[in-house]
Chain A
């Protein structure tokens, strides 16, 4: 009867470890991304979060060459903020810093556990899933392995930031799956929220200066 206490101990440890975990997931809505814009003296900081579905049209890990190419070109495009969000000429803005990346928002616990236990197997499994991509599979899959999100950060320097009274969102032409951006703007007059949609891809910032 020796193994039993050990097993018991193991399960207790496992239970304790499980209880210590925190589980949380960000809200994720396809078609809707977030853009935060902060004005501080001559600098403008922008941060974009957009679901993978908006940018490349899929949210599984890119496996095929075609998918990889899509992700790469999207990241390259996202790294050029002035092509996506066109600011008035008068503001004379230049990009100081721009970075874009694809984050996979893994459903924490289960997913990570799998990783820890058997990384290789998990990958294979994921691969299989996508090879035969039926609807059912997809539903099960998206439940299991979370969503992906593109994340980009920009820092602009503008000669006359107050001239940024309007921003035109070429973003929607660049990414045909994107429908809406929830925009938060903060300037010296305070914070404000806007919604910019595909139908009206213009942000009016006249009230913010």
Chain B
């Protein structure tokens, strides 16, 4: 009975109520959206590397090393010499080591030089291996394997020739070496999707006619001469390492960090990631706080509209009272109306979130490489929604108590 009354009363003021509900819905969608992006980003980062025990690079910071070697964010301060790489490779506790050589680009995508072992050793999303969607792993000096996003964005098929440019935003292109797409990787949701993979030797081959970052004028070595050259790399950017036994990880890490011949740094990917979250944590908290405040603002807005409506409804309330409604009923009516508005707002907010996710998902993935999963709401999200409804009820108590006190006297009195 009272529910029907509340509903009818809301319908009678449909426009104001709709606006209030919209405000709540938007704020709820924002709050849940921030949460989604936050957990999505974390999961997407954490899923990017798995199965690698150590990452080695020039001595800098662990977060920096992790970011440039795995996420292709930022640049290396220094390279690591090939001799050191071989030294580490020769250590008895090293099971496998995969070099990573960065610094060149193809259009907006980074080129990574590595060995074919990368395809076996690189694991993502708790142990999943890379798989080739089309074609095969590089086999010739000028073969490249491209990530799914590279293929999609640039419309490449296997067998297409491509040109690799030197430096990241360079206009000069290494247009003398005809690279060819030999394989396309299946989508992984990691930075590998946006990478052009070539062999380490190919990276050297690109730079045959280059000295100190400048092309030697008038010089261009024909492809078949390059093939004859000894293309032993001088340096790599970083290396991924797997150890034979986990018990040796820390010993190896220490040995690399204390390596006398070259300042090197070995990091545990999981630990470096944790450090990164500690840094990002402050911003995250701020973001959550701001979106939480938006929800509070929307609820206060609802309180304001209820207060405003009390004035309009003075007579209505008085009539209820005159017809025998207890003051408690009036209070209940107002609280129920508020709860209905908050609940509707929460539900619409949730719906908005999913619509937004569905629209934003491919865009965000393409722009930031961030995969936001569209999943059923978690318990945490339901508790947020329940929290919003509860907060709505609590907030509505203020005008409800006022109505409780005034309902009879106020409405019956004739104002002059």
Contact = CB atoms under 8 A, between A and B. Distances in A.
Contacts of A36: 250
Interface string A18-57: 0000101010000000001011100101010000000000
Interface stretch (B162-170, B266-274, B368-376): B266-274
B263 interface: yes
B247 A193 contact: no
Interface stretch (A74-82, A134-142, A183-191): A183-191
A47 B251 contact: yes
Contacts of B246: 38-40, 186-188
A118 to B, nearest CB: 25
Contacts of A22: 260-261
B268 A191 contact: yes
B50 interface: yes
Interface string B262-283: 0100001111001100000000
Interface string A183-206: 010111011110000000000000
Q: Chain B: interface secondary structure?
A: helix
Given A36-B250, A184-B250, A186-B250, A193 B245 contact: no
B365 interface: no
B389 to A, nearest CB: 32
Nearest to A153: B251
Contacts of A40: 245-247
A45 B250 CA distance: 9
B247 to A, nearest CB: 4
Contacts of B249: 38, 186, 191
B258 interface: yes
Nearest to B247: A45
Contact of A193 (B248, B258, B260, B275): B275
A191 B249 CA distance: 10
Contacts of B274: 192-193
B124 to A, nearest CB: 13
Contact of A43 (B53, B247, B254): B247
Contact of A191 (B247, B260, B269): B269
A184 B249 CA distance: 11
A191 B245 contact: no
Q: Chain A: interface secondary structure?
A: strand
Nearest to A45: B247
Q: How large, as a class, is the contact surface on chain A?
A: 10 to 19
A40 B93 CA distance: 14
Given A22-B260, A190-B50, A47 B250 contact: yes
Contacts of A191: 53, 249, 268-271
Q: Among the interface residues B50, B250, B270, which one has the most CB atoms of the partner chain A within 10 A?
A: B250
Interface string B46-60: 000010010000000
B306 to A, nearest CB: 45
Q: Among the interface residues B50, B245, B268, which one has the most CB atoms of the partner chain A within 10 A?
A: B268
Given A40-B245, A190-B270, A24 B263 contact: yes
Nearest to B59: A24
Interface string B214-249: 000000000000000000000000000000011111
A58 B349 CA distance: 62
A89 to B, nearest CB: 23
Contacts of B263: 24
A28 B347 CA distance: 55
A192 B275 CA distance: 10
B250 A26 contact: no
A186 B245 CA distance: 11
B270 to A, nearest CB: 4
B250 A38 contact: yes
Contacts of A186: 53, 246, 249-250, 268, 270
Contacts of A193: 268, 270-271, 274-275
B146 to A, nearest CB: 29
A22 B59 CA distance: 14
Contacts of A155: 247
Nearest to B46: A190
A43 B245 CA distance: 11
Interface string A157-193: 0000000000000000000000000001011101111
A192 B270 contact: yes
Contacts of B275: 193
A202 B249 CA distance: 23
Contacts of B250: 36, 38, 45, 47, 184, 186
B279 to A, nearest CB: 13
Nearest to A193: B271
Nearest to A49: B254
A170 to B, nearest CB: 22
A90 B269 CA distance: 31
Contacts of B270: 186, 190-193
Q: Among the interface residues A39, A155, A184, which one has the most CB atoms of the partner chain B within 10 A?
A: A184
Given A40-B245, A47-B254, A190-B269, 7 more contacts: A24-B263, A38-B250, A184-B250, A186-B268, A191-B268, A192-B274, A193-B274
Q: Please give me the 8 A-B residue pairs with the lowest Cβ-Cβ distance, nearest first.
A: A191-B270, A191-B268, A36-B250, A45-B247, A40-B246, A190-B270, A193-B271, A38-B246
Interface of A: 22, 24, 26, 36, 38-40, 43, 45, 47, 155, 184, 186-188, 190-193
Interface of B: 50, 53, 245-251, 254, 258, 260-261, 263, 268-271, 274-275
10 contacts: A22-B260, A22-B261, A24-B258, A24-B263, A38-B248, A43-B247, A47-B250, A184-B271, A186-B53, A192-B271
